[in-house]
């Protein structure tokens, strides 16, 4: 009887203490989105899957709104109704990388851009792939301006609040784009006007992000001091690519990189290496990127993709994603265009 009483008292005391500590912890600890991302990274790494997760400096101290500001591909084709290329080559190789194929003469293929805190991925995926194609087809290693696409395409959607890749391709054909490259670069017509940024204040690597950025006004002039004249480069034909891996592979091998869009789930933010497939976390929104090739790793087929979240994100700015299963919708929204000779 005595022993039982002691046991009950001890149990009550320990319950009270646990409750107390939990309450104190909740009261003092601010919830941080990066803590949730760390948890998700652990889940991925414990799942023995095809990819590894880790911390990407871009998201330290980011809240969910800050992360969402880096997405911005709107769903659908905005009524563009582009023609579809379903061409399929026989004897497609098991691996192909546009960077290896054309990267000597077209240095843009090695470039990773940074969209900053603006939902302009739709413009980046477009101009990155069109820049490569301009060089592959015309032999000129230039840069097409994300700034120009983001700010001047009125039919593309809502600028920094998101846009339509299909409309970006049509704009290139109808209106054309001036040259331009990364933030603070000179020598081209319109540089990107947003500095790369991060959500924490105590690193010398990035300046802090300042809320969601407003879309800048369209300027029909080149940056002052650029020494350039406002001259557009146009496309001859915009089209989408059939929703099979063979059609997409054929298009890349024949004409160069393409723009695609997919759904970003929270686990993707933590990508570091390997072949991404969705494991855990909620859907955050649509994101546009550039596909440059494909391959197979440990029997898992993948696409090679260049992101626009800086080289510090992921695998030197790039990632691999499962191929042939329409993972996160990546094979269902491929668009592209050819340059006008």
Residues that bind ligand NAG (CB under 6 A): 48, 110, 112-114, 182-184, 195-196, 205-206, 310-312, 316
Q: Which is nearer to ligand NAG, 196 or 285 (CB)?
A: 196
Residue 316 CB contacts under 8 Å (≥ 6 apart), including other chains: 112
Q: Closest approach of Cβ 277 to ligand NAG, in Å?
A: 13
Q: Give least dist CB 45 to ligand NAG, A.
A: 12
Classify each residue of 268-288 as buried b or exposed e, where b means 16 or more C-beta atoms within 10 Å of its C-beta.
Answer: bbbbbebbbbbbbbeebbbbb
Contact present, 128 and 308 (Cβ < 8 Å) = yes
Helix and strand counts by DSSP (H, E) for the chain: 8, 10
Q: Which residues, 6 or more positions from 293, have their beta carbon under 8 angstroms from its beta carbon?
A: 95, 96, 97, 98, 99, 100, 252, 303, 304
The least distance separating ligand NAG from the CB of residue 279, rounded to whole angstroms, comes to 13
Q: Which residue in 42, 35, 39, 41 sits closest to 64, CA to CA?
A: 35
**Residue of closest CB approach to ligand NAG:** 114
**Whether 121 is catalytic:** yes
Shortest spacing between CB 49 and ligand NAG, in angstroms: 8
Residue 191: burial class (beta carbons within 10 Å; 0-12, 13-18, 19+): buried
Minimum separation from the CB atom of position 152 to ligand NAG (A): 21
CA-closest candidate to residue 336, choices 126, 171, 175, 150 = 126
Show the tokens assigned to 38. 């760390």
Positions of E strands within the chain: 51-53, 84-85, 96-97, 235-241, 258-265, 271-276, 283-297, 300-306, 318-322, 335-339
**Other residues' Cβ atoms within 10 Å of the Cβ of residue 94:** 8
Show the tokens assigned to 129.
Answer: 């792939």
Q: Choosing from 121, 153, 197, 222, which is the catalytic residue?
A: 121
Catalytic hit among 56, 270, 307, 310: 307
CB atoms within 10 A of CB 327: 18
Distance (Å, rounded) from C-alpha 248 to C-alpha 157?
25
Nearer to ligand NAG, 48 or 229 (CB): 48
Residue nearer to ligand NAG on the CB measure, 161 or 311: 311
287 labelled catalytic: yes
28 an active-site residue? no
Q: Which of 135, 287, 310, 328 is catalytic?
A: 287
Of the pair 166, 279, the CB lying nearest ligand NAG is at: 279
- Give whichever of 247 and 322 is closer to ligand NAG, judged by the CB atom: 322
Q: Which is nearer to ligand NAG, 167 or 190 (CB)?
A: 190
- How many C-beta atoms lie closer than 10 Å to residue 80's C-beta? 18
What is the smallest separation between the CB atom of 225 and ligand NAG, expressed in angstroms?
Answer: 9
User: Of 244 and 311, which has the nearer Cβ to ligand NAG?
Assistant: 311
Smallest distance, Å, CB 73 to ligand NAG?
19
User: Which positions are catalytic?
Assistant: 121, 287, 307
């Amino acid at each position: 009887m005595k022993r039982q009483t002691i046991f009950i008292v001890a149990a009550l005391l320990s319950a009270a203490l646990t409750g107390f500590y939990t309450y104190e912890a909740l009261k003092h600890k601010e919830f941080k989105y990066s803590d949730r991302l760390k948890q998700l990274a652990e889940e991925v790494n414990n799942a023995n899957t095809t990819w590894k997760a880790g911390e990407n400096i871009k998201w330290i101290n980011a809240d969910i709104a800050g992360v969402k500001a880096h997405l911005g591909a709107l769903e659908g084709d905005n009524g563009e109704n582009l023609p579809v290329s379903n061409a399929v080559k026989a004897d497609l190789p098991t691996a192909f990388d546009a960077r290896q194929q054309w990267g000597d003469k077209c240095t843009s293929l090695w470039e990773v851009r940074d969209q900053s805190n603006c939902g302009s991925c739709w413009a980046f995926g477009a101009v990155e792939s069109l820049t490569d194609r301009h060089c592959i087809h015309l032999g000129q290693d230039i840069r097409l301006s994300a700034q120009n696409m983001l700010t001047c395409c009125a039919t593309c959607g809502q600028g920094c609040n998101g846009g339509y890749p299909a409309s970006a391709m049509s704009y290139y054909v109808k209106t054309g784009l001036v040259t331009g490259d990364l933030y603070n670069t000179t020598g081209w017509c319109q540089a990107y006007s947003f500095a790369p940024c991060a959500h924490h204040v105590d690193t010398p690597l990035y300046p802090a992000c300042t809320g969601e950025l407003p879309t800048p006004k369209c300027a029909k002039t080149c940056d002052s001091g650029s020494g350039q004249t406002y001259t557009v480069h146009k496309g001859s034909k915009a089209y989408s690519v059939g929703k099979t891996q063979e059609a997409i592979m054929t298009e890349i091998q024949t004409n160069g990189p393409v723009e695609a869009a997919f759904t970003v789930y929270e686990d993707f933010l933590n990508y570091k290496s390997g072949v991404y497939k969705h494991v855990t976390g909620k859907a955050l929104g649509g994101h546009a990127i550039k596909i440059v090739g494909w391959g197979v790793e440990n029997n898992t087929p993948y696409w090679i993709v260049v992101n626009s979240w800086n080289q510090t994100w992921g695998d030197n700015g790039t990632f691999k994603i499962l191929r042939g299963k329409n993972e996160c919708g990546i094979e269902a929204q491929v668009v592209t265009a050819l340059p006008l000779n």
